[in-house]
Every structure is written in structure tokens, then in C-alpha cells.
Amino acid sequence: MIILDENQHRVASHKEGPALVLAGAGAGKTASIIGRTLELVESGVPSSRILLLTFSRKAAREMRERAMMAFGEGGATIQASTFHAFCGRIFRQYESVIRPPLIKPQAQGNIAHTGTDNTAPSQKIQEHQGDRVTQLDEGGQSHIAMEAIRRQYKDPKEAELALKEMDWRKWLSAYDRLRSEGYTAQAQGAAQMTTDFINAWWRVEFTEAQKDPMAGDLYQFAVWYETEKRLAHVIDFGDLINLPFDFLRANPPAMAKLAHRYDQIIIDEAQDMDAAQYQGIQRLARAMPTPNLMLVGDDDQSIYGFRGSSPSVLQYFADIFRPEIYRLERNYRSTREIVQRASQHVAHNRHRIPKEPFSERETEESIFAYRHETDMDVLYWITRRLLQAHADGAPWSSFAVLYRSRRFGPQISALLVRYRIPFVIYGGLSFFEYLEVKFAGAYARLATNPRDSAALRDLAPLLPGVGDRYMDLLHAALMENPTFGFVQAAEACASNRFRTAHQSILKVQKTLRHLLQSNPETWGKTCWEYENSGIRVYLEKADAKEYADDKSALIASLKRRQDNLGFFDQMITDVIHEADAEEAKHPVLLIAGMFVTDAQKKDEDGDRVVLATVHACKGLEFDEVHIPGFVQPLMPWPIDDDRDITTLPPDDQQRIYAQREEERRISYVALTRAKHRLFLHVPGRFVTAANLMLNGAIRAPYLNELGLTAVPAPFQAARMDTAVQATANVIPFRPKPVEEDCRGG
């Protein structure tokens, strides 16, 4: 049984034709979609002829599960899938005619031509239509891009030099953006197509002053990249959307066949569509006997501009299709204060569809803006708050820490591990997953347990000659000989074939001896500085390769790694000083125990604090939300500034306004994840992602738009030696019960 309010029921009862549902945060859009589907089935529409599209597997799974709850077994025939899964089915059905012709080089397959020749090497290839293609992930895209550049040079040294000098990562990112607008580079395309492509790139990425020097480079790179994909028989995520929709546009019979398969199409989170997806779906709707296309979304929650989505698709749809418009403006999630202040904040965006969200949830004060001395003070304060509220009876899953910058994730996760608070991270790494910290921890684990083959396997990237085969042999030797440590097991595996691996194992032994003779409170620093550990050498080489074309990024990355190990040593010091006298006699065991705790936290299900980037938390809600960096340039991001842009060219003004408004929408999404309590933290001093220390006159422009002023945090949390016992009710978790309303689901 689905309970709907009056406006949700109007959505569910929509008759025929296009419809636009403006569904604000917490307004119950999923319930409305399922209610709409139930109405359709009850009116005689076969469930198999209803198509529900969304943008994440999680959302698609939730819709399928709720459809099954509403319809029973009949819900299994409803197609609820992501855009990529839907287009993937079309691609597989027509693969032999959809995919671009694959290329197989003749002879040795070395197709080389100069960097100025953008013609396809058609005289050196042959088409192969019988082969299957595979799909690239993000890492695969980078590999193909680098290979595409290398192929343009006969001399390998010249090729590697070109990779270092070219800004190919930026080109690949820009090309991905253009693909989301439907542009694809073609080696033998018309001049006008080339011009349109370059103009579109300028509009998306660059200012007037940057245009001319870069135009030809991007188009040339895109041609190489497309050719390399054909050589490798692969497609990327852009192809998975563009190729099926381009095929359908060029083949009306296939389009008509697909369109007649569905009576109703409903798009969830429609504001997240990019231009290619929108164009494809609106053409499909026009091919239906009746364009029964319903878009459900909120332009104020469009935050994926970096991958081509645009809030303007909702307005385009309204202008072109003239749909019936429904408004879901009651927020069932958040308190009245949160809804009112968040709405007045996002209303500063000029290019949006006006809305009047409201909430009937009454509660005491629910938004708190606190000022702290440093960013680390913020994180300690949040950790203590979680401990206090949990001691008052709040489940861990009631809390979320949301951040614009990923740098907060590892730091707060390290504190949560230290104080045994279970958590899960969305959109980033745990502190203990950073390679420099992981390697240092593996040495500690191996020092306390010489039979820990898993720790040795974690160190394998640092050890020449130690591969999977050798590790399998060493593990078998350990299992067969219960008294062996890793050194004795290595002696048992010694042979000419594994001579290099054996030498590496002896270096590990030497490193452990050095570490055990050093100060345990500088374990991380010693691991970095001691050459035999291999950590610094390995990571310097890895970063030099990753940032070959950006020296400043290389320096910043290495500095972050050392800072992470410095923070790790600070945690070790805290752990040792807070241990009892007997535990403190075994400091390395305490260090290794930190990593065991982290592994246990990752394996737990259910009751966990959520740490997430704002982009990763869409669709989630929590009783209490903390935003640890509600200051510029963290929120808003550095791209925003106060300069007067009215004298800039119109295209540049439009681009900057769009970036500023997206930043405000990102803030709005973070604010509206909170149901009952929202904490905005303003550090007076913090380190940016580029390792710049900012202090002094810190600006918090979004606080002004919310009508708030930050006050000093109510207690100092720089040290938490007795944090677990510190349960003073400075702020009760929830002042009084608030009746939950199922219509918000």
C-alpha cells in the first residue's frame, strides 16, 4: 500500500502525454514514481511496457525492489535500469551495425604518422566486423589515450617526451564533456563539423583569451583517441550512450520498433541528464504513438556539470513538449528551519525554475554554525560529538559527515578508527587505504607477526621479484611449517629463479630491524626516510609517472603523502600515550592493531557513520549532518570569486555564472541531506588540497546567504584522552521525537 499526499496523487493519476514533475528535496519523488507505475498497471498498461530510467544502479535497484513490494511478482517485468544499462542492451542487440568499424593493423601493426597528420591510416588497416568489443573503465580510457599519442611517433623516446609535454589528461576530460553533448571527432569529418566541435569545446572549458592556441590540439588528440579505440576493439562510457542513440536516429525502423515496445517512459533524477541523453530520450518519445514521457527532477539538485549534466534540460523539455507540470514542494525529510534557510540560499541562483518548498516538521533549533581554530579542531570536535550522541542512544547510522573536498575523508576516518567508531566511505579512500599508510602498516603487522603473509603481499609492490607465483610458494611454505616466519619460508623457496625475490625478502628483514630500533612514535616518518623500506622510492616513481606533465602536482602529491604519514605518527603517539602501562610496553603491536580495527570497521554492515563527498550522497538522508569546511575555498570551491564579470565576453560570463550556480547547488544538496540537525563548521585556519595554509580573514559567503553567523564551538576538542567517557549533553541528539511521514519515501 503506497500512501500519497494530494500532489503526489496528481502525479500518479496523470493521464496521457508528456509530464514534468518538479520534485524538491525530500518531497517523495520515488513514492510518486512507484504510485504512478501502480496506477498505470491498474489501468491496464502491462508492466513490461513501462520503462523507468535513472542514473545509478542503487537507485534502479531501489525502484525494482519497491515495484516488487507494490506489485508482487508482477513488478519483476518492469524495466528499471540506468541509462547506460538501457543503452547497453540496444548496443548488444545491434552491435554489428552500431559499433564503428574495428581496425586491425597489417604486418607488425605499427601505424605511425606525424603529429600534424590527422588523416586516418585507412591504407594500412582492414575492417573486421566479426570481432566483439569490450568496454573501457576510467583507467582503460587513460591507457588508450596514452597509446594513441605514442602511436604518432616512430621513436619511443620522442613519444614519452610528448606524453610529458602534452596536457593530454585535460584533453581527455574536455573530450568526455563534448561527448556528453553529442560531439565525436572523425578523422575525415567535414570542416563545419570540426568547427562546431571546437566551438563547443571553447564554450564548455575555456575563456576567450585561451581559445586559439588549443583548438587544433584537442581535435587532433580526439581523432587519435577514436582511432586507437578502433584498433583496440573497445568502447568507452561515452560510446555506450552516443552510439546506440546515433544509430536509432539514423535508422527510423529500429527507432520505431523500440518506441512501440513501451507505453510509458519515466525518467528519475532527470536534472542529471546530459545533452546526449536528453536528445536521445526525447527522440525516442517522439517516435512513440503518444509521447508518454514523464521527467521527474529538481534543477536545484543538478550537481554533475563536470560530466555534462545540465539543469536546463528540464526547461528545454518544458519549452518544447509543453508538458503538464506538477510540483512536489512539501519536504517530508527536513525541519522547517533547514528547508527555509536552504531554500533562501539556493534562491540566489538566477537561472532556475522558481519553487516554494516548505516543511511542516516542527522542532527546536536545528542548524548550528560553529567557528573553530583549525580544520583539525573541526574533525576532533565532530568525533567527540559522535561519541557523545551515541552514548546518549543514537545509532551510528544517524550521522553523516559530508565534504566538498576529499581531503577530509581520510583525516576524519583516521579519527573514527582511533576511537572505534564504525563508518563507511562513499566517494573516496579511508585514511588507511592510502598507499604510504598502508605500506607502513604492513611493516608493523609483519613486525608483530612474521607469519603474516597477507602483510607481506601488501608490501609486494615495493619488492622486486616478488609476484603472485612467489607469494603462493612462500605462503605454502608457511602453512607446511608452523614454526617458520617469512624469512625461513623464503629460505625454503630459494632458487636461482627467485634470486631477486629472495634478496627483496632480506631487505624487508633489514627494514624491520631498523624500524624496531627506532622511535615507534615516528614509525611513518622512518618508513618514508629509510631507503630499504622502498616506500619513498616506489611512490616517487609512481607519482612521477602519474604527474609527468605537471611538476607542481607532483610536488603537491609527495607533500600530501608525507603529511599523511605525519598525521599517522600523531595518531600513533595518541594511541601509545592513552594505552595502559602493560599495552605501552608493546607499541608496535598497538600500531598493527590500528589496521586490524580499520579492517573490522570496513567489514561491518548496518550501523555505521557515513563519510561522503557531496556528489556521492545524492538520494541519502540522515538525522544529523556535519559539513566540516563550510568556508571558501572549500564550499564554495575556489572556482568561485567576487570579481566583476560584466565586462567579459558573453560566453565567458555564462560559463562563470554556471560554475557559481553549480557550487551553490552542491551546497544546497549537502544541506538538505539533514533531517533534524545540521552542523556547519568554519575553521579559522586550514590546509587546501594544494597544500596551501590559509588563515586570518576566512570568508564564509554561504553562511551569509543562509542568514547565519558562526559562533565559537561550545567546547574545545583538541585532545580527547577521556573522549569515550565525555558524554556531557552539550547538545542533546534529538530534543523530542518527530513523527516520521511515509509519504516522503
Q: What's residue 138's pLDDT?
A: 67
Q: What's residue 374's pLDDT?
A: 86
279-314 as b/e, with b when 16 or more CB fall inside 10 Å? bbbbebbebbeebbbbbbbbbbbbbbbeebbbbbbb
Band (pLDDT 50/70/90 cuts) for residue 397 is very high
Q: What's residue 113's pLDDT?
A: 29
| Overall average pLDDT of the 429-442 stretch | 85
**In 3-state terms, what secondary structure has residue 105?**
strand
Per-residue pLDDT tens for 559-598? 888 988 988 888 788 778 767 777 788 888 888 877 754 4
Contact by Cβ (8 Å): 270, 22: no
Known binding site: residues? 23-30
Per-residue pLDDT tens for 98-157? 877 655 444 333 322 223 333 333 332 233 334 566 777 666 788 888 888 888 888 888
* 449/437 Cα distance (integer angstroms): 18
Strands of the sheet containing 622-627, edge to edge, are 423-426, 609-613, 399-403, 622-627, 674-683, 367-372, 711-712
Name the fold adopted by 431-600: PCRA; domain 4 (1.10.486)
Q: Which residues contact 471 (CB under 8 A, 6 or more apart)?
A: 453, 456, 457, 460
* 207/205 Cα distance (integer angstroms): 7
Locus of grid cell 607519482:
543
- Of the two residues 692 and 60, the one the predictor is more confident about is 60
Per-residue pLDDT tens for 505-563? 999 999 999 999 999 999 999 999 999 999 999 999 998 888 877 787 788 788 888 98
Do 6-91+243-330 and 431-600 fold alike per CATH?
no
Name the fold adopted by 6-91+243-330: Rossmann fold (3.40.50)
CB atoms within 10 A of CB 728: 11
Q: What's residue 152's pLDDT?
A: 87
| pTM confidence score | 0.76
CA terminus-to-terminus distance, the chain: 13
CB atoms within 10 A of CB 155: 10
Known binding site for ATP: residues? 23-30
Name the fold adopted by 367-428+603-728: Rossmann fold (3.40.50)
Q: Where are the domains of the chain?
A: 6-91+243-330, 134-232, 367-428+603-728, 431-600
